[in-house]
Amino acid sequence: MKQLYIDGAWTHGTGLRTWAVTNPATGQHLDDVSVASTEDVDRAVRAARRAFDDGPWPRLDPLARGRMLRQLAERIRSRLEDFAMVDTLNVGKPIRDTRGFDVPCAADLFESYAGLSDKIAGKCYGTLPDNVTMQFREPMGAIAAIVPWNFPLTNAAIKLAPILACGNTVVLKPSEVSPLSALMLAELAHDIGFPPGVINVVHGTGAETGTALVRHPGIDKITFTGRHQTGIQMLEAAKIGMKGVLLELGGKTASVVFPDAPLEQVVNGVITGIFYNLGQVCVAGSRLLVHESQHDDLLDRIVAKAKALRQGDPTDPNNHLGCLATPQHCSTVQRYVEQAQHDGARCVLTGQLPTGAQNCFHPPTIFDRVTSAMTIAREEIFGPVLSVMTFRDEEEAVRIANDCDFGLMGNLWTSDGTRALRVARRLRAGRITINGGGALRPNVPVFGYKLSGIGAELGFDEAVHEYTSSKAVLYSLATEKSPWPE
């Protein structure tokens, strides 16, 4: 059984309750994890608080902090196969993806932010002859980090790397669905010698463990990635103690294809955008907007290529697609498919839908003749379901793309550079890719418009803004003081 990691030690939850972790591809039991009670969460937050208020981490030479983060990156790389297999078994994503992206990306994040540690700087306002005003950037405090199940290790690294680089301490709550790689990460940090309380990992449901964590008065900031409905709850919890919040929430990415776009590249981009990780990606390109003149040709090509994707055992490196993370989520995706059929969308690609309590292998699904009023065009499905719509001109394309409550990402495909930048400026989304330039990079921030979030994930300047506190110090150089109130 896996334990909680609190204050530099492995410990059972006080309630001695456990959560069974299963392989969604087979239903096989993988392990049990100890569930953190409210008392356990309190222990973890107090440990993070002590480590910040009295411990060495915030006061450590920034270069020393950076060296420890760099060691963590190298340890992750040295255990690439272990991490890749754990996340593959835990959430059913193909081993080719965990090997090729998830684990290397996590290592890169820690290495990249290791270099930020000694480059955090303030300002000096020295324009007055008798006064110097300085702005200092200081570590913020104890941070609550809550991550989803779709990229277990990568999401943990996205949170921990900038939080730790800025000198903070953290209580990490991974999803109850996928806690195993977070525990492995804690093991590496423990072996490297991170001071007790700097990194704490607690497990449990969002309703119990997560609520206790974000409502705890010892937490200075909440950083959360997940559904926008849960993000609203985070805002409510932040009222207790006036905590800061960073929310990276849902998306409904529109991929807009103009007539001059290179169709072969578009096909690959669309297929990757919606079926990578079976669409369990916040920036999944779930809406395809294609000019009516090329609709038939592009759709035929996409359907043909999607049919060639191999789906099956996630541990087989020859398979492109694994399964969805839980049977419950698979049922949710099926309900969206049924709703789309009821609303009148035309299904042009699907497969044998899963049957049975444990079957999570949902096939790639494409709907044509979708309108912006349909549920599948408005709500985040978080599954392998593509909605195809047409437009007549640029104005209509922008209108349809923006007709959505989310604004996390948009994709543009065109050979006209001027139009690409013009439309990019008009789209209401925090991240726009042009002709497939959408890879995650540690130094590039992720912003969310509308229901897609508050604040910025990643980015060096943005990380400093999100995870440090700013202090102004006013230093008088005057030898004579004002006589007031005499």
* CA 287-290-294 angle, 5° bins: 150
In the 8-state DSSP scheme, what is residue 485?
T
- Catalytic residue (choose from 105, 282, 323, 360): 282
Our separate counts of H helices and E strands in the chain read 16, 24
Q: C-alpha distances in angstroms, 8 versus 58, 175, 480?
A: 16, 21, 53
CB 247 within 8 A of CB 454: yes
Q: Round to whole Å and give the CA distance between 219 and 45.
A: 7
Q: Is 282 a catalytic residue?
A: yes
Annotated catalytic residue within 248, 380, 457, 466: 248
Q: Are 245 and 401 in contact (CB under 8 A)?
A: no
* Adjacency order of strands within the sheet including 9-11: 9-11, 4-6, 199-201, 169-173, 142-146, 221-225, 244-248, 453-454
Amino acid letter for position 258:
F
CA distance 152 to 22: 14
- Annotated catalytic residue 248: yes
How far is Cα 307 from Cα 309, in angstroms, rounded to an integer?
6
Output Rg (C-alpha) for the chain, integer angstroms: 24
Q: Is 294 helix (H, G, I), strand (E, B) or coil?
A: helix
Cβ(32)–Cβ(142) below 8 Å: no
DSSP string computed for 139-201: E--EEEEE--SSSHHHHHHHHHHHHHHTT-EEEEE--TTS-HHHHHHHHHHHHHTPPTTSEEE
Rounded to whole angstroms, how far apart are CA atoms 168 and 468? 8
Say if residues 245 and 222 touch (Cβ distance below 8 Å).
yes
Residues forming the active site:
248, 282
